[in-house]
Amino acid sequence: MPVPEVKESFAGSVNRVTLGATKDSGGTRTSTVTVGGARNVVYGGSIEEAGEKPIIAMDVLDSRPDDWPDALAENYQDVMDSPADWAKKCIEQFGADLICVKFDGIHPDKQDLDAAHAVNVTKEVLKAVGVPLILWSSGNDEKDNQVMPKVSEAAKGENVLIGTVKEDNYKALTAIALADGHHLITHAPLDINIAKQINILVSDMGFPLEKVVTFQATGALGYGIEYAYSIQERQRLAALGGDKMMAMPAICDVGYESWRAKESKLADAPGWGDVKDRGPMWEATTAICLLQAGVDIIRMRHPRAVATVKNFINQIWQ
């Protein structure tokens, strides 16, 4: 009796998502990016099954951050007061695939800046760079519901990736993202059941699932990366198993989480090595680890970490 072939193959795949709208499709982007499409686990199967290369979105804050460690901030001192220049630097000097504008400044506990400021930043960054944008809320539900719909409107037609929407706060932004033709980030707190539920909720509102990217929340190396890893892995396996509610590309926030780690920023730590190296290493290691679980878009901050991870991606997905 012949031995049956045991090659692993899957019925489902990760959705392919294209961000950005060029002139032909009613936007002003000079390029678009496409992610997703994997038909196997990372490293599994043939190269044809690997899908699109993962991409790196570099963070640009809407206002000057006052809590960034020196090793990180020194790369941006000249541009921190101008999100447009900051975005340009990330693209032209550091090789970012796209820009994630993070609206920290609108948070009531930070600078409590208003919608007019956020709209202005959005327009300026759109003007400054030709790549697609990610527009990311502050995390304060009430303020985000006031500001983010205006941000969405300001980027109408540009097919940005906007978020995040959560199980208990999704209606306002989902509705406006749908109206403005954007892609949407659904956000769950490291909980696969809630991740699925939020996708169902936005789908019930008529938002097309093929325009959704999931954010499962991220844990950095030493700070819960194992939870993030196993959830990303489970999401990928569910997608491959044909679960349409889990078949979205995934985004993770490596930059912010890695630079919260004390190992990244504590200068006075004998025996830990130079603080200038630790942060970028922490960030790159976190990113590379999560790439192997199956994430498609990584938010990052330090140019050296970005270079290391880009090199890794180019070697693996070729």
Applying CB under 8 A, does 114 fall inside the site for other proteins? no
Helix axes 225-240, 192-204, angle to 10 degrees: 50
User: Nearer Cβ to other proteins, position 79 or 238?
Assistant: 238
Are 108 and 140 contacting, i.e. CB atoms less than 8 angstroms apart? yes
Of the residues 190, 192, 307, 316, which one makes contact with other proteins according to CB under 8 A: 192
Of 289, 69, 83, 237, the closest CA to residue 298 belongs to: 289
Nearer to other proteins, 241 or 273 (CB): 241
| Least distance in angstroms from the C-beta of 197 to other proteins | 4
Nearest distance, CB of residue 35 and other proteins, angstroms: 22
Instruction: Pick out residues in 193-212 that bind other proteins (CB under 8 A).
Output: 193-194, 196-197, 200-201, 203
- Work out how close the CB of 232 gets to other proteins at its nearest, in angstroms, rounded to a whole number: 13
Task: Using the minimum distance from each CB to other proteins, give the nearer residue, 145 or 203.
Answer: 203
How far apart CA 28 and CA 20 sit, in angstroms, is 9
- Cα radius of gyration rounded to whole Å, the chain: 19
Tokens of 71: 């090793």
5-64 residues in contact with other proteins (CB under 8 A) are 6
Tokens of 167: 């199980």
Determine which residue in the list 2, 206, 270, 271 makes contact with other proteins, applying CB under 8 A: 2
Classify strands 55-61 and 183-187 as parallel, antiparallel or unpaired. unpaired
User: Site residues for other proteins, window 236-275 (CB under 8 A)?
Assistant: 238, 241-246
Give the Cα-Cα-Cα angle 136, 142, 145 (nearest 5 degrees). Answer: 55
Residue 240 identity: L
CB of 243 to other proteins, least distance (A): 5
Query: Residue written as tokens 């697609």?
Result: 132
Of residues 63-82, those binding other proteins (CB under 8 A): none
Using CB under 8 A as the binding criterion, the count of chain residues that bind other proteins stands at: 20
CA–CA distance, 280 with 303 (Å, rounded to integer): 8
Half-sphere exposure of 79 (CA within 13 A, CB side): 19
Q: Which is nearer to other proteins, 125 or 247 (CB)?
A: 247
Whose Cβ is closer to other proteins: residue 5's or residue 24's?
5
Residues binding other proteins (CB under 8 A): 1-2, 4, 6, 192-194, 196-197, 200-201, 203, 234, 238, 241-246
